[in-house]
Amino acid sequence: MSDKILLSAENISKSFNHIKALQKVTIKAFEGKITAVIGDNGSGKSTFIKILSGSLEPDEGIIKIGTNSYHRLSVAQAINAGIRTVYQDLSLDNFKNSVENIFLGDEITRCGFLDRKAMRVEAAALLEEIKVRIPDLSEPVRNLSGGQRQGLAIARALRRPAKLLLLDEPTAAMGIQESAKTMEMLGMLKRKGIAQLIVSHNMEQVFDIADHIYVMRSGEVLVDTAVSDTSPEELRELILRREDERIF
Amino acid sequence: MKGYFDISAKRLKYMGDKMEKILGYIKKEFSSPVLLICFCLMISVFLSISTESFYSLKNVVNILEANSYRMILAVGMMCIITSGAIDLSVGSILSFSAICTAISLKAELPIALCILLGLLSGTVMGVINGVLVYATRINPLIITLATSYMYRGLSLMVTEGIPVTKLPESFREIGCGDIFGMESGVTAAFVIIIAMIPVFFFMKWGSYIASLGGNPEALKRCGVKTWKYRISVFALMGFLASVSGIIVSARLNSAEANAGLNMEMDAICAVIMGGTALHGGKGSLFGTVIAVFLMGLIRNGLTIMSVSSYYQQFITGAMLLCAVVIAELRERRARIG
């Protein structure tokens, strides 16, 4: 792959007591492209995302973003480096409304006071831009649908210029219609040139929009391939063969 | 003519929609305070009819004066509960800071310095609570229960169980001083409530405190240093407890280790009755203030009606139970909604 590397996580390992969640995982994300990390539950995908977003500290390995290298990324460092994360649980404050959630941790203030009017205008424009429809922005987010909540979490991630958008299971716990809308939104972001690293267990879904795929199993990268060089059937066969080799 | 009626109908619809929005907002944000005000009015009418001495300005002032320090404690507790925590050590902090101030006064230090020492001791105790809660990740209920015993023990160790009395006249004036015909404790409570309005509703601090109760992990993932806010909310509680302690000791002209016993329960009761979410995430400053007044009103009414103080304690407990059950049901309904 001749694309420009945006982020490179090399030889990342992480253990929780005696459980090895990640073992020397090397994954790269490319400018303007969608990289997908797929695997079953417990394969280490979410642990990997948490390390890249600064929520978890790796035991080993190095993360390179542009010219900077990090042995351990803090949340603030990740944000400053342009990494925005949409977590599987969406990390929304259910008591707060859409505007407050979009600006959580990065509120607009005037003389030390929250500038709610400015935040409301900016939030409405942002949601309009990424085509997320929320009729009442003052409604607490716990009353919103799954798709609206997902859109809100993505809007928050994109509020400041993002180099790379990390998405942990963006369609988990969503209906067919909402999943399709979310995937459509991610496709639109790709066309806008926003690089994405999507973690999912749904191979068919990511095949439609991803450029590069990593397959993980038991904390290791099994397959590293461009989407154009493979097919879902081939990957499935490869995974099953590896699984057979592991068992027998 | 037809056009005129068309415009009127449009305007009526607009006004109707606006009114519906305003009523919806009041229902959403102020349902508890409005309900409490109704309760206050009902009780006031009942007591005015059934007793002779209730219906007087002097009695209203008396209720405010007797509950000013409870008001201050409840405001702090409202912040704590909004942040998803609880503080059972406020009574002990109140007692210790009052003792600190009283001992300093006995040592003939300047009054301002004595008050400052009292405030500092309370704030430090609050910071200790906050640090312990944040660092250990143990339920704040357990941590502050332990520290409440420790702080109370410190008060007993320092005073050997003997009240510190006969404080200087100039200090007593702080507690009994007359501002607008009311004790200075009422003014202090009023100033604190007014100061809390912008901090709690219009500044980042208030928003983050609520998020600490709503979803602390989300706040952390947004790059906010949650430890600062966790510790600061306990520090504020400690500070307000020490303000209450100073007011109480100045009012009673003494400071003792057993002062402030069970005051945390009164504060918690008022906060929950006021409409603050039981598990944090949403606070109600106005509801809390009105709930403290309502509790004071009930206490005052029972005293006027010569009801034994034992019954008063039972009634406070029953009110707390009702408030907790109603709050839990309300939260469950909101979650389902």
Answer whether residue A211 is part of any domain.
yes
Question: What end-to-end distance do the CA atoms of chain A give, in Å?
Answer: 34
Q: What percent of chain B has pLDDT over 90?
A: 58
Of the candidates A55, A96, A107, which has its C-beta nearest B214's C-beta?
A96
Answer whether residue A137 is part of any domain.
no
| Interface contact A231, partner B, CB < 8 A | no
Residues of the domain holding A193: 5-93+162-247
Does residue A4 have a pLDDT over 50?
Answer: yes
- Supply the pLDDT for residue B28: 65
- Supply the pLDDT for residue B67: 92
- Supply the pLDDT for residue A67: 85
- Supply the pLDDT for residue A1: 46
- Supply the pLDDT for residue B13: 79
Q: Which residue has the tokens 């008063």?
A: B312
Which CATH number do you get for residue A238? 3.40.50.300
Which residues does chain A have within 8 Å of residue B202's beta carbon, measured at their own beta carbons? 113-114
> Mean pLDDT, to the nearest integer, of B174-183?
75
Answer whether residue A105 is part of any domain.
no
- Supply the pLDDT for residue B328: 78
Which ipTM was obtained for this model? 0.83
| Interface contact A112, partner B, CB < 8 A | yes
- pLDDT tens for each residue of A67-108: 889 988 888 889 888 899 999 889 999 999 999 999 999 999
Which residues does chain B have within 8 Å of residue A119's beta carbon, measured at their own beta carbons? none
- pLDDT tens for each residue of A118-154: 999 999 999 998 888 899 899 899 889 888 898 899 8
- pLDDT tens for each residue of B259-302: 888 899 989 989 998 989 888 999 999 999 999 999 999 989 98
- pLDDT tens for each residue of B20-48: 777 776 666 667 788 889 889 999 999 99
Which residues does chain B have within 8 Å of residue A96's beta carbon, measured at their own beta carbons? 207, 210-211, 214
Residues of the domain holding B302: 33-329
- Given pLDDT bands bounded at 50, 70 and 90, which one contains residue B3? low
Give yes or no for a contact between A87 and B222, defined as CB atoms under 8 angstroms apart: no
CB contact under 8 A, B214 and A79: no
Return the SS3 of B87: coil
- Supply the pLDDT for residue A159: 87
Answer whether residue A134 is part of any domain.
no
CB contact under 8 A, B211 and A96: yes
Which of A27-31, B19-23, B77-81, B170-174 is most confident?
A: B77-81
> Mean pLDDT, to the nearest integer, of A215-237?
86
Answer whether residue A142 is part of any domain.
no
- Given pLDDT bands bounded at 50, 70 and 90, which one contains residue B182? confident
Which CATH number do you get for residue B107? 1.10.3470.10
- Supply the pLDDT for residue B208: 97
Average pLDDT, chain A: 88
Answer whether residue A81 is part of any domain.
yes
DSSP codes of every residue in A43-102: SSHHHHHHHHHTSS--SEEEEEETTEEESS--HHHHHHTTEEEE-TTTT--TTSBHHHHH
Nearest chain B Cα distance for residue A210, angstroms: 26
- Supply the pLDDT for residue B129: 97
Answer whether residue B205 is part of any domain.
yes
- pLDDT tens for each residue of B196-212: 999 999 999 999 999 99
Of the candidates A75, A85, A114, which has its C-beta nearest B207's C-beta?
A114
DSSP codes of every residue in A86-136: E-TTTT--TTSBHHHHHTTTS--EETTEE-HHHHHHHHHHHHHHTT---S-
Answer whether residue A209 is part of any domain.
yes
CA-CA-CA-CA torsion sign (A103, A80, B134, B332): positive
Number of domains in chain A: 1
- Supply the pLDDT for residue B237: 97
| Interface contact A75, partner B, CB < 8 A | yes
Question: What end-to-end distance do the CA atoms of chain B give, in Å?
Answer: 46
| Interface contact A105, partner B, CB < 8 A | yes
Average pLDDT, chain B: 89
Return the SS3 of A231: coil
Answer whether residue B334 is part of any domain.
no
- Supply the pLDDT for residue B288: 95
The region of weakest confidence among A14-18, B60-64, B310-314, B333-337 is B333-337
- Please report, to the nearest 10 degrees, the dihedral formed by the alpha carbons of residues B144, B146, B151, B152 taken in order: 110
> Mean pLDDT, to the nearest integer, of A52-68?
91
> Mean pLDDT, to the nearest integer, of B241-255?
93
> Mean pLDDT, to the nearest integer, of A141-169?
89
- Given pLDDT bands bounded at 50, 70 and 90, which one contains residue B4? low
- Supply the pLDDT for residue B260: 86
Does residue B179 have a pLDDT over 80?
Answer: no
Give yes or no for a contact between B302 and B311, defined as CB atoms under 8 angstroms apart: yes
Q: How far apart are CA A90 and CA A88, in angstroms?
A: 5
- pLDDT tens for each residue of B114-152: 999 999 999 999 999 999 999 999 999 999 999 999 999
CB contact under 8 A, B337 and A143: yes
Which residues does chain A have within 8 Å of residue B281's beta carbon, measured at their own beta carbons? 93-95
- Supply the pLDDT for residue B6: 59
Which helix or strand (DSSP H or E) is residue B111 part of? helix B111-136
What does the block give as tokens for B9?
């109908």
CB contact under 8 A, B282 and A95: yes
Does residue A61 have a pLDDT over 70?
Answer: yes
Give yes or no for a contact between A95 and A142, defined as CB atoms under 8 angstroms apart: yes
Number of domains in chain B: 1
Answer whether residue A28 is part of any domain.
yes
The region of weakest confidence among A144-153, B70-79, B99-108 is A144-153
> Mean pLDDT, to the nearest integer, of A51-65?
92
Which residues does chain A have within 8 Å of residue B84's beta carbon, measured at their own beta carbons? none
Which residues does chain B have within 8 Å of residue A114's beta carbon, measured at their own beta carbons? 202-204, 207
Answer whether residue B25 is part of any domain.
no
What does the block give as tokens for B21?
């929005």
